[in-house]
Amino acid sequence: MAKTAAVQHMRENEAIPDIDIYCGTATPEMARIVAERLGRPLGRREVDHFADGECHVQIQESVRGRDIYIVQSTCPPVNEHLMELLVMIDAFRRASANRITVIMPYYGYSRQEKKSTGREPITAKLVANLLTIAGANRVVAIDLHSPAIQGFFDIEMIHLTAISLLANHLRTHIDVHDAVLVTPDTGRVKVAEMYANLLNVPLVVMHKRRSGERGEGVEVGVVVGSVEGKHPIIVDDIIATGNTIITCAKTLLDAGAVPNMTVVLTHGVFSPAAEERLAMPEITQIVLTDTIPFHTPSLQQKTAVLSVAPLLSEAILRLHHGRSISELFRNMPEEFPV
């Protein structure tokens, strides 16, 4: 038994000659680090555009029979990066790749996962269909806006989380003695509980109501839990306009919270409006991942960007060798539904 385990360990730590890592133009630095950690060169491809804006991709090496991993977040400009990804998948499929795995750290259109009013699309499902029809065999994403999106796929869908990564950073870089974990959305209480349990801090839940044509306006109705004299750690998965965070921050201050707040998120979409709102001095620290490249110089001094490349490279290694992905999250206070 010991000999078998030793042989398996040796094989898993050898170079992996039959997988190739490629990327689009959305997250090339992340892809480079992932490939480097796996001991593989980043695959050569050319992405350009015709005069009318059509995307063109050419794979510049043979991929017949290969195990292909495409690293591409569908971050802004979302439509451009999504179309680029679909064209790349089609190119690999027509070049007879053995298996195509899409590594999509940020799943664009994930906030359109249900109909909020009549005559609306469910675009998160449409994106799942497009990836499948293009020829993807498997999709890997990090912290989906709604875990139910996993059910939109008729191919294998692997859902990873950066909660442990973010919580570990908080534990080692801030004093959680007088902290409270705040979720601005009742729909994300389960995720907030994971953070609260990992940090061993109380949980405060805020009930928000959305207003406006596309629900971009935010009003906070009820704060469940005490924040007086406490240091709030506000957690969310995506920040786009910053409306939710800034409204919650002002409500917490009115309720007696200390004007020393930490905002934690996975995906920093950060529109210009969000950049301005998050600059409020009461928000002293922002912690996020690099699922979307961080290009916000005005917030750089108070922002910590954590790399998800180690998580992705380990997931790729485990997928390639047919090993458990759930083991990556064995330190979570409860099982994460990979």
Q: What is the pLDDT of residue 286?
A: 98
Whether residue 17 is predicted with pLDDT greater than 90 in this model: the reply is: no
Whether residue 136 is predicted with pLDDT greater than 50 in this model: the reply is: yes
Condensed to tens digits (0 to 9), the pLDDT of residues 308-320 reads 999 999 999 999 9
Confidence of residue 3 (pLDDT cuts 50, 70, 90): very low
Residues 105 and 227 in one domain: no
Whether residue 306 is predicted with pLDDT greater than 50 in this model: the reply is: yes
Residues 151 and 176 in one domain: no
Condensed to tens digits (0 to 9), the pLDDT of residues 41-56 reads 999 999 999 999 999 9
Q: What percent of the chain has pLDDT over 90?
A: 85
Number of domain units in the chain: 2
Residue range 144-153: mean pLDDT, rounded: 96
Residues 158 and 238 in one domain: no
Is residue 336 included in any domain, yes or no?
A: no
Confidence of residue 25 (pLDDT cuts 50, 70, 90): very high
Q: What is the pLDDT of residue 140?
A: 98
Residues 253 and 167 in one domain: yes
Is residue 214 included in any domain, yes or no?
A: yes
Q: What is the pLDDT of residue 213?
A: 59
Confidence of residue 186 (pLDDT cuts 50, 70, 90): confident
Secondary structure, 3-state, the chain? CHHHHHHHHHHHCCCCCCEEEEECCCCHHHHHHHHHHCCCCECCEEEEECCCCCEEEEECCCCCCCEEEEECCCCCCHHHHHHHHHHHHHHHHHCCCCEEEEEECCCCCCCCCCCCCCCCCCHHHHHHHHHHHHCCCEEEEECCCCHHHHHHCCCEEEEECCHHHHHHHHHHHCCCCCEEEEECCHHHHHHHHHHHHHHCCCEEEEEEEEECCCCCEEEEEEEECCCCCCEEEEECCEECCCHHHHHHHHHHHHCCCCCCEEEECCEECCCHHHHHHHCCCCEEEEEEECCCCCCCHHHHHHEEEECCHHHHHHHHHHHHHCCCCHHHHCCCCCCCCC
Q: What is the pLDDT of residue 191?
A: 93
208 is a catalytic site residue: yes
The answer to whether the beta carbons of residues 157 and 150 sit under 8 Å apart is yes
The answer to whether the beta carbons of residues 93 and 81 sit under 8 Å apart is no
Q: What is the pLDDT of residue 216?
A: 59
Q: Return the CATH number at 176.
A: 3.40.50.2020
Condensed to tens digits (0 to 9), the pLDDT of residues 261-272 reads 999 999 999 999
* Entry pTM: 0.91
Residues 108 and 191 in one domain: no
Confidence of residue 1 (pLDDT cuts 50, 70, 90): very low
Q: What is the pLDDT of residue 5?
A: 43
Is residue 335 included in any domain, yes or no?
A: no
Confidence of residue 141 (pLDDT cuts 50, 70, 90): very high
Residues 17 and 79 in one domain: yes
Q: What is the pLDDT of residue 185?
A: 86
Is residue 334 included in any domain, yes or no?
A: no
The neighbouring-strand residues paired with 69 are 21, 101
Which pair of structure tokens corresponds to residue 227?
Answer: 């924040």
Higher per-residue confidence, 337 vs 116: 116
Q: What percent of the chain has pLDDT over 70?
A: 91
Residues 248 and 317 in one domain: no
Residue range 46-72: mean pLDDT, rounded: 97
Residue range 76-100: mean pLDDT, rounded: 98
Q: Choose from 12-21, 131-140, 322-331 the range with maximum mean pLDDT.
A: 131-140
Residue range 131-152: mean pLDDT, rounded: 97
Whether residue 65 is predicted with pLDDT greater than 90 in this model: the reply is: yes
Q: Which domain holds residue 271?
A: 163-306
Whether residue 2 is predicted with pLDDT greater than 80 in this model: the reply is: no
The set of residues, in sequence order, having a beta carbon less than 8 Å from that of 2 and lying 6+ positions away, is none
Average pLDDT of the chain is 92
Choice among 3, 125, 208, 302 that is catalytic: 208
Residues 178 and 100 in one domain: no
Stretch among 91-105, 167-181, 300-314, 324-338 having the lowest mean pLDDT: 324-338
